[in-house]
Chains A and B, each alone.
Chain A
Amino acid sequence: MTKTPLQFRHNGREVALFVDGGTNLLVVLREMLGDVTPKFGCGQGGCGACTVLIDGEAHLSCLTLAETVEGRAVETLDGIKTGPNLHPLQQAFAEGFAAQCGYCTPGMLMAAKALLDRIPQPSREQVVEAISGNICRCTGYEPIINAVLAAAASRRASA
């Protein structure tokens, strides 16, 4: 099969590779770049575990054709901490017990990051809306919603 050259920014780093036509972004990230932070849940856009940011906007990487990210910036959970310091959202998730099995957590964090980057001080309803495409089996959502609000509050306090 003819391969297509593909170049994009992956967590701030320029990457270039060849992909088969029809390859989705999740496969490129996990299998070709070795970034396994986006999870494969359902493979059909129903669970949100594969959520990544493309030019700052939350996307389901399992439904995104890799070729469509040519020249764009893709951000995954692997890139959100600064050196050894966790991102305020990761910190808030850990402190708020917002993960149990952890499978939904990368997608939740990326969906939440897209929200906070756009709306630094969201309402509870906005948080609910932002994570409504992400399924969690363990937490009952309440700790996740609270953690996102706590991360927003900590940013306000440190700003």
Chain B
Amino acid sequence: MTRHRGRGMAAINYPIGMNLGGDPSQALVHSNPSGKFTVALSSIDLGQGMKSVTRQICAETLGVPVEDVYVDTADSDTGPHCMGSFASRGTHRVGNAVMAAAKEARGVMMEAAAEELEVNAADLETDGRGNIHVKGAPHRAISVKDVAIAAQFRQGKTISGRGIFLVPLSDVDPETGEMSPATCYAHACLVAEVEVDDETGEVGVIRMDSAYELGRALNPRLVEQQLVGGAWMGMSHALYETTEPYYPDPRQGPRDFVEYLMPGPGDICPHDIAVLERPAPDGPFGGKGPGEMCANPVLPALANAIFNAVGVRIDELPITPEKVLRAIRAQGGARPQTRR
């Protein structure tokens, strides 16, 4: 019995969102008379942080403190339409819609402030701390709260905004077959090191090193969290998860968590991640999205690492010990590759 070490790499190019029907998302932003803002979305935050990111985007665009913005998600009865949370599209699509809505709301807010201060709205700026003042004259100021009260009770204005983000639909060019399925792409490269047991076919992941390019990281801690968790899921898809791992009859397949395999806390490995920020021209504040793409490079990198370790090329997922062992036997033993 020998354990063979191998190393593999993969690079990916991941489209943010999709092209079907323009992949639109909408957002509505309005102020309450308290000067706090509500963002209405029917987009869903599954825990990946869309509420946090859209809150940041809205606050930054309005020029108000982030704690003065509340994001209300996931009610498709009352919220504006959203295509959904998938394809790494949340930050990019929903973020852009929120930005557009917040821009419109900011316009009304500045007009209302201008009326109260008896100046031109173009001469006003926000201080990001909840006040609006005349450029170069911070003492000529009014709080956002007072603007909201004036708009509501005196001026009869709704400080609100509508936003939608829609990617122009791209058709296939009949001459060349060309099309543009997405407007922005995230990128990643990952190197994985594995240890393959040629007696059991078991694959242990020793370490991973990766670089992810995903536009501006609007919330670096959320990005890091997504990348760490996503890489684990990639490892899980590559080596563990399937609904039918048991030969030969699907009826012997897993029915529940006890039988459905996933790597546990003892199966993870050190993972060093570098985040490269290259702001996307059409992303909200340059953001793309780390959502789904973070799992993708792990699968081909692990398949390549296994080939590097024992010389077998498994092209069906997941790469279970059984498949590795059968392939090793079929070629008459492990054949470690020379290039490392």
Residues of A near any B CB (own CB < 8 A)? 41-42, 44-47, 97, 99-102, 127-129, 131-132, 135, 137-145
Identify the closest chain B residue to A131 (Cβ): B265
Which of chain A's residues have a CB closer than 8 A to the CB of B137?
none
Quick check: A97 and B221 within 8 Å, CB to CB? yes
Residues of B near any A CB (own CB < 8 A)? 46-49, 221-222, 224-225, 228-233, 256-258, 262, 264-266, 268, 271
Quick check: B266 and A138 within 8 Å, CB to CB? no
Quick check: B256 and A141 within 8 Å, CB to CB? no
Which of chain B's residues have a CB closer than 8 A to the CB of A100?
46-49, 225, 229
Question: With A46-B257, A47-B257 known to touch, is A141 a contact of B48 (CB < 8 Å)?
Answer: no
Contact with A42, one of B46, B221, B257, B264 (Cβ below 8 angstroms): B257
Which of chain A's residues have a CB closer than 8 A to the CB of B271?
142
Q: Helix, strand, loop or mixed for chain A's interface?
A: loop
**How many whole Å from B43's CB to the nearest CB in chain A?**
15
Question: With A97-B225, A100-B229 known to touch, is A141 a contact of B268 (CB < 8 Å)?
Answer: yes
**How many whole Å from A26's CB to the nearest CB in chain B?**
15
Question: With A97-B225, A101-B47, A138-B47 known to touch, is A128 a contact of B258 (CB < 8 Å)?
Answer: no
The 6 A-B residue pairs with the shortest CB-CB distance in the complex, in nearest-first order: A140-B232, A101-B47, A46-B257, A100-B47, A46-B258, A141-B265
Identify the closest chain A residue to B49 (Cβ): A100
Question: With A41-B257, A44-B256, A102-B47 known to touch, is A128 a contact of B266 (CB < 8 Å)?
Answer: yes
Report the bound CA distance from A83 to B232 in whole Å.
36
Question: With A100-B48, A138-B47 known to touch, is A143 a contact of B257 (CB < 8 Å)?
Answer: no
Quick check: A144 and B225 within 8 Å, CB to CB? no
Report the bound CA distance from A99 to B231 in whole Å.
16
Report the bound CA distance from A45 to B292 in whole Å.
29
**How many whole Å from A30's CB to the nearest CB in chain B?**
19
Question: Can you give 27 A-B contacts (C-beta < 8 A)?
Answer: A42-B257, A44-B258, A45-B258, A46-B256, A46-B258, A97-B221, A99-B47, A100-B49, A100-B229, A102-B47, A127-B265, A128-B265, A129-B266, A132-B266, A137-B262, A138-B48, A139-B232, A140-B228, A140-B232, A140-B233, A141-B264, A141-B265, A141-B268, A142-B232, A142-B268, A142-B271, A145-B265
